A and B are shown apart, each in its own frame.
Chain A
Amino acid sequence: MSRTATAPSESPLPLREGVGGRVSRRAALRPYILIAPSLIFLLLLFFIPLVQTIALAFRTSAGAGFGNFGKVWNDLDFFDAVKDTFALVVVAVPVQLALALGMSMMLRHVRRGRDLILWIWSIPLGISDLAAGLVWLAILTDKGYLNSVLFQLGVIPGPQSWLTYETPVVLFCAILTAELWRATAIVFMILVAGVQLVPKEFEEAASVFGATAWQRFCRVTLPLLRPSIQTALILRTVLAFETFAVVLAIGGTNFPVLISQAFIWQNQNQDYGTAAAYAVIVMVVSLTATAVYLVALRPRAGEPA
């Protein structure tokens, strides 16, 4: 057992061999060698498909051009998909940020059971998008848990449809609720890490000078949390633009979003070019959102980065 454990250190890595120059060159190379596998991995499985997708989006039977984007423009569901995607991002992300801020602030004052609360709040992180969608579908479908409870309470006379094209507002709220339930945890986790780095002394100093709790939060905590908020917002917004499985499970074709349209064009219509055009549009939107956050939340002169 111990032999196995010590075996790697016995391996003849010639760290101390040769002249000093060689050692330092090797030492300088070492990080690159260690990083190389992950770089190659990303290059193979991310960068190349990315280039291929972009190429696919601009390739039509008539040669290179914007033909696929024309098809996207003429797609019956395109404008609905844009509207729905942005509605979801614009509503969900701020609400998630507010919830996560509130949760992480409250957690600061918890002494006993902090780990347990942290653990429970992070449960949704471990659930796949599709599973989360199906959970909410089971709750909200005609013969689901919600209707059963409402029926038992005598609120509704029979099964009530919530997720159809006839009830778009409820459908949106259902998808929003599922998204909040599923994805607030990731924002919360990032903020909790940030909150832990904020020194208590700053707030104590502020309270000595008579700042109210709200003032301390707005003037002290929030600016110090800016890097965490920036990370959380970028991550969450990019992911929100790519929301797919939850929407597909709950909304089906009644709530088209950009990514579900890409899926439908690729899977149902077997039109890879148009699907790629959708994917490129989502990428451009996500990159733009990231750039906006980077600029809007950049540290002002004299502030720590």
Chain B
Amino acid sequence: MRASLAALSGVLVLSAFSVAPHPARAQEVTFLSTQMRPLEEAQRARTQILNGAPVKTTYVPEEPPQLPVHLQADAQGSHTISLVGALHGEFAPLVPMGLLAPLDDQEALLKQRGIPDNLATLAHLGGEHLMYVPWMQATYIMAASKKALQYLPEGAKLETLTYSQLGEWAANAQKATGQRVLGFPAGPTGLMARFLEGYLLPSYTGGTVVNYRSPDAETMWADFKALWAHANPNSTNYNFMQEPLLSGDVWIAWDHVARLQDAFRKQPNDFVAFPAPAGPKGRSFMPVIVGLAVAKDAPNAAGAKQVIDYLLKPEMQVTTLRVTSFFPVVKVAVPEDLDPGMTLEAQAVAQQQAAPDAKPVLLPVGLGSHGGEFDRVFTDTFQRVVLRGQTVHEVVQREAQDMQRVLDAAKAPCWSPDPPSQGTCQVK
């Protein structure tokens, strides 16, 4: 009886807390994030990253499609969310919905922590105001077995490699070993589409969409077809390049850092990591940027900014790398006790980011549910030109129409590095 009375009074006290706006609540920060969602990862975010935050922070994971819905409901109702963590592309639609507060007062923080200019520019989301602060990043890099290094063409360096040198390299290796040791993740769940839209095509044309049927694009496809002659024919079965790298079937590969990780972690002495090659229009690469934004009319904007400052501290960026495998966006010295495989990747990511000819290319923005179809335009073009040997000119003409159809259906404006468009992005 006494126990149940105590429980009842406890419930009453608790409900009083949750009904009345308690002063303690405004001191806390509720952090809604589309990253680190699985139970274990979320728990690690709470206990290993946010536990030392200057303001008590409640970490709430949310599925990406639900993010705008959740924020809108919160803005119209309870006003609990202050801080939002999401991918660059997930922030983009939130701005026209008026769900984010401008963060111009954080520009100084970006400079102070050494966040690269190209990331800072992206964080303006094409407008005047800074809309989010870059938090952490992943990307796609190259990996090579040390056995392959002896076949590098004369004068070529890994850090400044070009696509034509990559082709020569693979050709040299094939001549010497009789094997095609260059590999791409062109399997059913591989990320080949990202290579084509974020690395290869923009390195030749300077963009992803607008110049899809330009002469530059045709040159690119012709070059890539020649390069593919030295690619392992099993590439159309590869999904994660770490596997063929570890088995020795492939010596030179491109893939997402998370999909190369095993190779570097298991045999850090056998592999090297290096930036993606450059084409005539620069070294295009696709950063996967996770940012931190403050919700409009946040109950605790000041607290949220304190948490941002905390998460951008170099030591926290290193902790984040250890916990999540997302790489720092600020200048940090990689600690010596970091897993040697991760160190290799971290160095390559930093090199790629800081290369003088580096050109960040965004993951497609604003395509919504049409993202898969957009990717398919690239993989279809690849299949037709490279695997089926169809005429480049005809294929790009045909696929450009298909791309326009996808863009029209999504009503997507152009995204960086293509120049901003009035209305739907148009293929020239």
Residues in A lying within 8 Å of B, measured CB to CB: 61, 76, 141-143, 157-159, 161, 163-166, 248, 252-254, 260, 264, 267-271
Contacts and interface: CB of A to CB of B under 8 A. Distances in A.
Contacts of B233: 161, 164-166
B317 to A, nearest CB: 32
A272 to B, nearest CB: 9
A149 to B, nearest CB: 18
Chain B CB count within 10 A is highest, among A159, A164, A268, for: A268
Nearest to B371: A270
B186 A253 contact: yes
Contacts of A159: 179, 249
A269 B237 contact: no
B156 interface: no
Given A76-B384, A252-B236, A269 B188 contact: no
Nearest to B381: A76
Interface string B199-240: 000000000000000000000000000000000111011000
Contacts of A252: 187-188, 236-237
Nearest to A142: B249
B380 A142 contact: no
14 contacts: A142-B234, A142-B249, A143-B247, A143-B248, A157-B178, A158-B178, A161-B232, A164-B233, A253-B186, A253-B187, A260-B188, A267-B189, A268-B188, A270-B371
Given A252-B188, A268-B372, A161 B380 contact: no
Contacts of B248: 143
B418 interface: no
Contacts of B66: none
B188 A61 contact: no
B373 interface: yes
B372 A271 contact: yes
B41 interface: no
A270 B370 CA distance: 8
A35 to B, nearest CB: 40
B69 interface: no
Given A163-B234, A164-B236, A253-B187, A269 B372 contact: yes
B230 to A, nearest CB: 13
A269 B387 contact: no
B409 interface: yes
A61 B346 CA distance: 44
A166 B386 CA distance: 12
B351 interface: no
